[in-house]
Amino acid sequence: MAPDALMNTPILWLLAALIVLPLAAYALFLWRRLWALQQAQKTAAQQQQQRLGNDLRVLASSLLDEQLPLIEGAIRIKVLLDHYALNLSQNPHCQVFHLIFEATAHVPTHAAWQALEKLKRRQHEACFQELELQHKAAARTAARWLLDEGLPRP
C-alpha cells in the first residue's frame, strides 16, 4: 500500500464514525420515541375500551331499572356496542338493539325534533310506543345478557 493510502485510512474511519455514530444515535432516539408513542396509544385505547364497557354497563342497568326510556337506551347501547366490539354488537342476543335503531333512524333529533310540528312529533311518539310494546321484553333480556355474560366483569 502507498503511504498516502495508509494515512488516509484512519482519517476515513474517523470521518465515517463522525457521520455514522450521530445518525445511529438519532435513529435510536426516533425508535424510542416511536415505541413510547405506541405504548401511549395502546394505553389510551385500553382506557377507552374500559370507559365504553363501563358506559355500556350503566346503560344496560339503567334500561333494566327503567331509569332510561327503552328506545333511547336501545339506541345508545347499539351505538356504543358498535364502537366497543363489533363482534359483540353483531351477537344475536343484541339484535333487538339493531332493530330499534333501524326503526328509529329516520326520526329527527335535537333541534330538528324541536322544530317538528306537534302532529309529526306525536306520530313518532306513537311509533316509539309501538316499538316499546313489541321489543321491551327482548331489550330487557338483551340488557341482562350484556351485564351477565356479554361484557367482561369490571
pTM of the model: 0.81
Rounded distance between C-alpha atoms, residue 86 and residue 21, angstroms: 48
- pLDDT at position 72 is 96
pLDDT digits (tens, 9 = 90+) for 34-57: 999 999 999 999 999 999 999 999
> pLDDT tens digits for 62-81?
999 999 999 999 999 999 99
Give dist(CA 35, CA 59) in Å, integer.
Answer: 36
How many Å apart are CA 130 and CA 124, to the nearest integer?
A: 10
Q: How confident is the model at residue 3 (pLDDT cuts 50, 70, 90)?
A: low
**What does the alpha-carbon distance between residue 107 and residue 124 come to, in Å, rounded to a whole number?**
7
| Single-letter amino acid, residue 126 | A
> Residue holding cell 345478557?
145
Q: What is the pLDDT of residue 2?
A: 53
Cα 100 to Cα 132: distance, rounded to the nearest angstrom: 9
CB 79 within 8 A of CB 124: no
